[in-house]
């Protein structure tokens, strides 16, 4: 393989020297894009870390080699100063030389502080006294960060982020910034009342649930600093919840259901128990780039807003239903909608009849009405009452 740049020294990935099979190390640098000065197209690419292992304590930055993550598909990119576990693995050259190995880092930093945001332990692989005595050994490129003092990276800022409250058997994925995925189940802990979640007030223990949240609000957090999913208006910023038998106390934005005036509305959100998918955020955008957005339902589709309801179409809009009511009071069918063309035809026929009207007199039948011209004018204007873009049918 092509040699990997080590800042002045040439060191191949392949090594026949005795190595620890598993060893902890401190991340010295990481390549996140091609702007990194040691990035190469030949192998030193995005995701590779410069690691000072335990057996290399106090060694110069320039004696260290770059390592690839051990997993190709799932990677948590470590911060500078975090601890990673390194393992020995074969390199591509092992097909010709079975002794060709290299160290790879497991892409999950060690939870030194049991913290989701950062677990940095700078200067764990060297002494600060040595760094101060020989600063040139610790100046290897770290982007925009100041190389004279320990750093987490170029742009990283520490943030107080609680961990997601776990329950028995949960599989949880947590990001550094208050974003997480829980593959869990209905769980009603009996001994920890302060840690009761908000989705287990219905259903049975073991009913599956998936919650995805991005942006925690700490209103519902436990006294121990763990986060509970919160579906109130002041709760988590964006959420997707996939339920199987749970009741979710979602605080909905609009409770206007007047269109269900003469029919049974769906269960209120904080009452419904069953299978459902909830998408909750300040704004939702559904965008079909090349085809359609389709919504179907067995019982009803309800839209409710405290503002306006707008529909725009560049072509045409079709509403097909056995009956269409405009306004919830119209369901008594006291005022049917007139058919425009039928009404115009009737009005024109009426005007024609009035124009030809005669009356018997002592002198014989009268002539046409003296206001016949006005009837003719009304007849010619009748089509003006027709809309050019709204149409209906008498029945389906």
Q: Sign of torsion, CA 345 347 348 352?
A: positive
Q: Which residues of 171-203 are buried (b: 16+ CB within 10 A; e: fewer)?
A: eeebebebbbbbebbbbeeeeeeebbbbbbebb
pLDDT for the residue numbered 188 = 84
3-state SS class at 99: coil
67 C-beta neighbours (distance < 10 Å), count? 24
Distance (Å, rounded) from C-alpha 313 to C-alpha 311? 7
Distance (Å, rounded) from C-alpha 305 to C-alpha 187? 34
> DSSP string covering 193-241, please?
GGG--SS-SSS-TT-EEEEEEES--GGG--TTSEE----STTS-SEEEE
The answer for residues whose C-beta is within 8 angstroms of residue 227's C-beta and 6 or more apart is: 162, 163, 164, 165, 178, 180, 216, 218, 220, 221
Q: List helix spans (H) across the chain.
A: 128-133, 340-355, 372-381
CA atoms within 13 A on the CB side of 119: 19
Distance (Å, rounded) from C-alpha 13 to C-alpha 216? 42
Distance (Å, rounded) from C-alpha 357 to C-alpha 347? 15
Distance (Å, rounded) from C-alpha 299 to C-alpha 330? 21
Query: What is the full per-residue pLDDT of the chain (396 aa) written as tens digits?
Result: 333 334 433 333 444 444 578 999 999 999 999 989 899 988 788 999 999 999 999 999 999 999 999 998 998 999 999 999 999 999 889 999 988 899 999 989 999 999 999 999 988 999 989 988 998 898 887 655 555 566 788 888 889 999 999 999 999 999 999 999 999 999 987 555 556 888 998 999 999 999 999 999 877 678 788 999 999 988 999 999 999 999 999 999 998 888 887 788 888 888 899 999 999 999 999 999 999 999 999 999 999 999 999 999 999 999 988 888 888 778 888 888 888 888 889 999 998 988 888 888 888 788 888 888 888 898 898 888 888 888 888 776
| Structure tokens that stand for 22 in this block | 């598993």
Please state the pTM of the whole predicted model.
0.81
């Amino acid at each position: 393989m092509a040699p990997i740049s080590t800042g002045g020294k040439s060191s191949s990935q392949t090594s026949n020297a005795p190595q620890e099979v598993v060893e902890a190390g401190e991340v010295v640098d990481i390549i996140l894009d091609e702007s990194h000065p040691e990035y190469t197209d030949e192998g030193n690419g995005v995701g590779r870390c410069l690691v000072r292992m335990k057996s290399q304590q106090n060694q110069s930055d320039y004696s260290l080699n770059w390592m690839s993550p051990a997993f190709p598909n799932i990677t948590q990119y470590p911060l500078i100063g975090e601890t990673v576990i390194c393992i020995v693995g074969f390199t591509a050259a092992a097909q010709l030389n079975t002794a060709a190995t290299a160290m790879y880092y497991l892409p999950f930093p060690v939870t030194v502080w049991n913290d989701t945001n950062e677990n940095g332990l700078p200067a764990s692989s060297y002494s600060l006294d040595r760094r101060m005595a020989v600063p040139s050994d610790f100046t290897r490129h770290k982007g925009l960060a100041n190389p004279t003092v320990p750093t987490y990276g170029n742009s990283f800022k520490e943030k107080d982020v609680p961990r997601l409250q776990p329950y028995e058997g949960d599989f949880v994925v947590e990001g550094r910034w208050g974003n997480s995925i829980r593959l869990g189940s209905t769980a009603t802990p009996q001994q920890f009342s302060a840690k009761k979640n908000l989705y287990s007030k219905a259903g049975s223990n073991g009913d599956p649930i998936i919650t995805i949240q991005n942006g925690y609000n700490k209103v519902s957090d436990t006294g121990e600093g763990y986060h509970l999913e919160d579906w109130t208006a002041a709760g988590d910023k964006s959420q997707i919840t996939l339920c199987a038998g749970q009741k979710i106390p979602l605080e909905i934005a609009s409770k206007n259901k007047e269109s269900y005036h003469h029919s049974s509305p769906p269960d209120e959100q904080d009452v419904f128990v069953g299978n459902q998918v909830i998408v909750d955020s300040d704004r939702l955008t559904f965008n079909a780039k090349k085809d359609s957005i389709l919504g179907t339902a067995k019982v009803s589709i309800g839209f409710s807003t405290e503002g306006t309801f707008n529909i725009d179409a560049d072509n045409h809009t079709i509403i097909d239903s056995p009956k269409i009511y405009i306004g919830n009071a119209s369901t008594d069918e006291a005022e049917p909608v007139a058919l425009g063309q039928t009404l115009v035809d009737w009005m024109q026929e009426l005007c024609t009849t009035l124009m030809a009207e005669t009356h018997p007199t002592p002198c014989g039948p009268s002539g046409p009405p003296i206001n016949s011209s006005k009837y003719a004018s009304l007849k010619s204007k009748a089509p003006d009452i027709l809309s050019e873009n709204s149409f209906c049918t008498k029945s389906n």
